[in-house]
């Protein structure tokens, strides 16, 4: 399998606690967050990764180069911010297989990618989205699905008692590009997921596995405690590993 990792984030909301580096390079328990993602991809039989990078991308290249363990790394470099959609469109130029995975570089969702792949092909979806059940949240929008596991609506961010959020992992194929707008820079979430539900068969792959988004200081700090063992992260750890 191949994967595109969106690793061009500025980390604006983390400026108070991390140095001037790309957000996926923020240290979590002594390791760059991106390293956790790459190790997880290795465990899920991914062989080739296209890193969609931009802001200070040389820091990522200097850390991982063109090979990380058994992963081949290819760099898709933005000269100017393109949004998640524009970044995916550019990275598609490097994809060799028809089907591939897309991953947000600031979230870690410990799902089984083989299971996602099987779900995608069995349901004959154009696009499959990994969904995480969550309770009492306002930071994320909610996805609604029908009995056939097809996503029928995405809700805006609001205080929500319970629902399934977008976990930031997708499976699709190269034909998705036919639905991209003509603009160079665009949002994959706003301009594809939320507006193409009538044209695309989008499946919702629900898994209640470990999930963390390091985009805000509170969750960045929480990740330091929970991700010591990234093969089996424990959200219930009580020891304050930040002091070590």
Q: Find the CATH number of the domain harbouring 173.
A: 3.90.550.10
Q: Is residue 86 part of a domain?
A: yes
Q: What pLDDT shows up at residue 175? A: 95
Structure-token pair, residue 234: 């424990």
Find the domain containing 152 and state its range: 2-231
Q: Is residue 242 part of a domain?
A: no
Q: Is residue 110 part of a domain?
A: yes
173 bridge partner residues? 99
Euclidean distance between CA atoms 89 and 184, whole angstroms: 8
Q: What pLDDT shows up at residue 13? A: 63
Is residue 130 within 8 A of residue 205, CB to CB? The reply is: yes
State phi, psi for 120 to the nearest 5 degrees: -60, -50
Q: What pLDDT shows up at residue 236? A: 63
Q: What pLDDT shows up at residue 19? A: 72
Provide long-range contacts, Cβ within 8 A and 24+ apart, for 222-227: 223/28, 223/29, 223/33, 223/108, 224/28, 224/29, 227/28, 227/29, 227/36, 227/108
Q: Is residue 161 part of a domain?
A: yes
Q: What pLDDT shows up at residue 243? A: 30
Q: Is residue 244 part of a domain?
A: no
From first to last of its 244 residues, the chain has per-residue pLDDT tens of: 999 999 987 656 666 677 788 889 999 999 999 999 999 999 999 999 999 999 899 999 999 999 999 999 999 999 988 999 999 999 999 999 999 999 999 999 999 999 999 999 999 999 999 999 999 887 888 999 999 999 999 988 878 888 999 999 999 999 999 999 988 999 999 999 999 999 999 999 999 999 999 888 888 889 998 988 776 777 665 443 333 2
Q: Is residue 238 part of a domain?
A: no
Q: What pLDDT shows up at residue 139? A: 84
Element (DSSP H or E) covering residue 39: helix 33-43
Q: What pLDDT shows up at residue 137? A: 84
Q: What's the structural domain count of the chain?
A: 1
Euclidean distance between CA atoms 59 and 218, whole angstroms: 25
Q: Is residue 243 part of a domain?
A: no
Q: What pLDDT shows up at residue 113? A: 96
Q: What pLDDT shows up at residue 40? A: 96
Q: What pLDDT shows up at residue 10? A: 66
Q: Is residue 241 part of a domain?
A: no
């Amino acid at each position: 399998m191949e994967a595109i990792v969106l690793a061009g984030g500025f980390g604006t909301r983390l400026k108070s606690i991390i140095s001037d580096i790309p957000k996926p390079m923020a240290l979590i328990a002594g390791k760059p967050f991106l390293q956790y993602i790459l190790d997880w991809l290795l465990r899920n039989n991914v062989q080739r990764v296209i890193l969609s990078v931009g802001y200070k991308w040389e820091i990522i290249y200097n850390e991982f180069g063109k090979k990380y363990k058994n992963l081949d790394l290819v760099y898709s470099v933005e000269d100017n911010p393109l949004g998640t959609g524009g970044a995916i469109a550019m990275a598609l130029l490097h994809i060799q297989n028809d089907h591939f995975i897309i991953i947000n570089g600031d979230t870690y969702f410990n799902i089984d990618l083989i299971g996602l792949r099987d779900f995608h092909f069995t349901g004959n979806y154009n696009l499959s989205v990994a969904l995480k059940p969550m309770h009492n949240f306002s930071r994320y929008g909610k996805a609604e699905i029908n009995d056939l596991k097809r996503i029928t609506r995405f809700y805006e961010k609001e205080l929500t008692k319970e629902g399934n959020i977008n976990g930031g992992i997708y499976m699709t194929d190269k034909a998705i590009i036919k639905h991209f707008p003509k603009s160079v820079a665009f949002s994959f979430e706003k301009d594809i997921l939320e507006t193409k539900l009538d044209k695309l068969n989008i499946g919702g792959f629900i898994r209640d596995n470990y999930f963390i988004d390091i985009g805000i200081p509170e969750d960045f700090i929480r990740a330091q405690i929970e991700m010591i063992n990234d093969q089996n992260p424990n959200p219930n750890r009580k020891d304050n590993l930040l002091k070590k």
